[in-house]
Amino acid sequence: MDRCAVVVDPLGTGQEYPAAFADAGVATVAVLSTPEPIPLYADSWHPENFAAVHVFDGDLAALAGTLRGYDPLCLIAGSETGVELADALVERVLPGTGHVPELAAARRDKWAMATAADAAGLPHLRQLCSADPAEIDRWLKATGLDRVRLVVKPPKSAATDNVHFVDAGADWRGFFDQIYGHTNEFGLRNDAVLVQEYAEGPEFLVDSYSVDGAHGLVDVCRYTKVRRGDRIGVYDLVDFLAPGDADVAAVWPYTKRVLDAVGIRNGCCHTEVILTADGPRLLEVGARPAGGGHQMISRMATGTNHILRTVDHRVRGAFSPTYDLVRHVCSVVISAPHAGTWRNGDLFDGVTGLSTHALHHFYFGGGDLLPAPAGLSSMVGWVVLASADRAALDADYHRIKDLERRMEVERGPHPS
């Protein structure tokens, strides 16, 4: 085999790596961290796109030896589930081409991220991760956080999986019980629960690509999220910002310090930050390409994305410090008002007639049982808008949201 790249769990967004590397004359070898992809990623697994496929059976040394035999250009994570195995393998296959090994936990576990941020002297949200409700209760009382709003979530899931809002002084223990000991969207047992002070302010995703510790900006988006009952972080809008935007100037310097704190040196990172009245605060880091279709719209907005930056670096040795916004782009997320049967599924049929419509996809139709709004995995669909005219794009966003408010959903149980 000629030159090749090794991708651990090339699932979700990571499924785009084989075509991108092939365009540069490089084959791709897949490594699966589990015998079968988790259900969340099952539909994105295409083994036919790879020159070879290997499955991790617990013997790290043997797998590393096999992969060294390919003399690969790189070994990278394709999705969140592959981050830990990629970190463990890269030092055995291509030492020095990944991230800081000693900080591997801080690139996957939210509690370890917070600990790393604290060790680096970064302002961060007060939080505690524990399997003991009594310990959490003592900590909340000692810090005075028992009288403020809180967020309760798993420490090693992603997006908005089982993320709950707790009103000031309200009981958080029910959410603890809902999370602890249960399996998250990544197929992992939640062996602890993270309790965090609630932060208020706009949220941003900051996508970066690093080469030898130099951090380059790939894109920055402002999230609009809404609260539905006790569930927070229900996505509403993902809006790309120009690199010269004031909010980018506010979050990028802080994000670069976060990248250093968690040991990012070579590769993609997807960081989520909230801009509070006291300045930016870290929500989480993902040491892999942004998921959820983001690569497609990032390229539409900027002409590049995590996948293309990876190929530019690993094949051509290139590094880009920033990006250009070539057009205004946003992704409008459609969610049901509550669980139930959708009675007017043709409601959004006219979105293709919007002047800024670029593409759309709906996961459900009329007569389908819709899930209660909870996160990305519960969305009904999305519409991508793109235009050189910002005002036209904003107007179409409001038209879509007006349609969303007119959804007729007959109450019923959450789909099993």
What is the DSSP-derived secondary structure letter of residue 266?
S
In this structure, the dihedral spanned by the alpha carbons of residues 198, 201, 202 and 203, taken in order and rounded to 10 degrees, is: -30
**pLDDT number for residue 229:** 66
Size (the chain), residues: 416
How many whole angstroms separate alpha carbon 373 and alpha carbon 224?
15
Q: Which residue has the tokens 């007006």?
A: 402
**pLDDT number for residue 188:** 87
**pLDDT number for residue 376:** 73
Q: Which residues of the chain have pLDDT under 50?
A: 416
Q: Which domains are delineated in the chain? A: 4-98 (3.40.50.20), 126-197 (3.30.1490.20), 203-411 (3.30.470.20)
**pLDDT number for residue 85:** 98
How many whole angstroms separate alpha carbon 160 and alpha carbon 335?
14
**pLDDT number for residue 284:** 94
How many whole angstroms separate alpha carbon 207 and alpha carbon 133?
35
Strand 27-32 to 4-8 pairing: parallel
Contact (CB, 8 A) for 78 and 13? yes
Using N-to-C axis directions, what is the helix angle for 246-261 and 110-119, rounded to 10°? 90
Strand 381-387 to 328-334 pairing: antiparallel
**pLDDT number for residue 143:** 96
Q: How many of the other CB atoms lie within 10 Å of CB of 137?
A: 16
**pLDDT number for residue 232:** 66
**pLDDT number for residue 270:** 98
User: In 3D, which of 339, 392, 399, 348 has the Cα closest to residue 370?
Assistant: 339
Residue 307 CA to its chain's centroid (Å): 14
Sign of the four-CA dihedral 332, 338, 340, 343: negative
* Strands, E assignment, 325-371: 328-334, 340-342, 357-362, 369-370
Q: What digits encode the pLDDT tens for the residues 335-360?
A: 999 999 999 999 999 999 999 999 99
In this structure, the dihedral spanned by the alpha carbons of residues 68, 70, 73 and 77, taken in order and rounded to 10 degrees, is: -70
76: left (phi over 0), alpha (psi -120 to 50) or beta: beta
User: In 3D, which of 203, 268, 199, 270 has the Cα closest to residue 239?
Assistant: 203
**pLDDT number for residue 292:** 83
How many whole angstroms separate alpha carbon 271 and alpha carbon 256?
10
